[in-house]
Amino acid sequence: MDQISYIRFLSSLFVIIIMASCTEIIDIDLNSSETQIVVEGNVFSNSEPSVIRISKSANFDESNNFPKVQDAIVELSDNLGNSEILVETSPGVYSTNTLTGIQGGDYYLMVQVEGQALSSSSQLPFQVAFDSLIVTETSGSGGPGGPDNSSNYEIRVEYTDPADEKNYYRFVEFINGENKSKYAFDDRLNDGLEVNRTLLYFDRNLEIGDTLQVEMQCIDKAVYEYFNSFGNSHGVGPSDSATPANPITNIEGAELGYFSAHTSEIKQVIIR
């Protein structure tokens, strides 16, 4: 081995030794946290029973099978003096028999569960009419990575926002009965205007024969802030998909969940 080759050999050996000495296993500790009570409460204005769902949160490395919380005491009341203890109709699901939502009414939730007292309130807004659900087929990619010759469908909703009052909206999208996406909006930029808004969702994948349903909800400010913060923390726009940060709950005594008294109007389109 000549001198130059020997020097190159020693240099390579030195680099290998340095790299080996710097190598270590990095153990990422995804800290486990105590499970939290999660409340999902809905009071409807269309005479349907009010439903409160109670579950527990799960850690990052656990499945999305959230444990249902049974045997809770759940009470719902309104500003007219009506009150009802809800019946557990299935594990973790509590429903009213007589108390239903009235537009303009105030609703109060009390939950006693596992030694915790949780409470919340929500005002049920007056309904804003859901004027139109418009589905338009467009050419090009149906989303990131989609083929250029595929069909995509633009989904738009139309309604007229009442002037000189704050209004908050939530749209829930279903395809063949399966909940696909949710959106929360306010009227900061369109107070009193006719609104034509596109519901942006890149993984819709609609096909001929599919049933598309969109539910329009009028919600109060606290509920809007909950769903809006959920979407913003996830970085995917106004939806309440899974998120690494807790949204702004309106449940006193809990860190997760919401209580929403809202209107509900649904429109449906069959894709042809």
CATH (one of 3.40.30, 3.30.1740, 2.60.40, 3.30.70) for 130-245+262-270: 2.60.40
Q: What is the DSSP string of 89-107?
A: EETTEEE-SS----TT-EE
CA distance 35 to 17: 46
pLDDT at 180 over 90: no
Residue 149 has pLDDT above 50, yes or no: no
For range 87-102, the mean pLDDT: 96
Q: What is the CATH architecture assignment of 37-123? A: Sandwich (2.60)
> 27 falls in which pLDDT band (50, 70, 90)?
very low
Question: So what's the pLDDT on residue 145?
Answer: 43
Question: What's the pLDDT at 33?
Answer: 62
Provide DSSP, 223-272: HHHHHHHHHHHHTSSS-----SS------BT-SEEEEEEE--EEEEEE--
* Percent with pLDDT over 70 in the chain: 74
Q: Examine the pLDDT at 231 and tell me if it is beyond 90.
A: no
Q: Of residues 167 and 29, which shows the higher confidence score? A: 167
Domain 37-123 and domain 130-245+262-270, same fold? Reply is yes
- Residue 147 reports pLDDT greater than 50: no
pLDDT tens-digit series, residues 117-139: 999 999 999 999 999 999 998 86
User: Are 247 and 212 within 8 A, CB to CB?
Assistant: no
- What's the pTM value of the predicted model, to 2 decimals? 0.79
Give the pLDDT confidence score for residue 208 in this predicted structure: 92
Rounded to 5 degrees, what angle do the CA atoms 123, 130, 183 make?
65
Do residues 155 and 173 make contact, with C-beta atoms less than 8 angstroms apart? yes
Taking alpha carbons only, the member of 38, 119, 48 closest to residue 262 is: 48
Mean pLDDT of all residues in 46-56: 93
Give me the residue spans of the domains in the chain: 37-123, 130-245+262-270
CB atoms within 10 A of CB 174: 16
| 6 or 152, which is more confident | 152
Look at 23-32, 150-159, 172-181, 240-249 and tell me which has the smallest mean pLDDT. Answer: 23-32
- Cα-Cα-Cα-Cα torsion 7, 10, 15, 19, nearest 10 degrees, comes to 180
Per-residue confidence (pLDDT) for residue 43, from 0 to 100 = 97
Residue 15, CA distances (Å) to 20, 25, 44, 58 in order: 9, 19, 69, 45
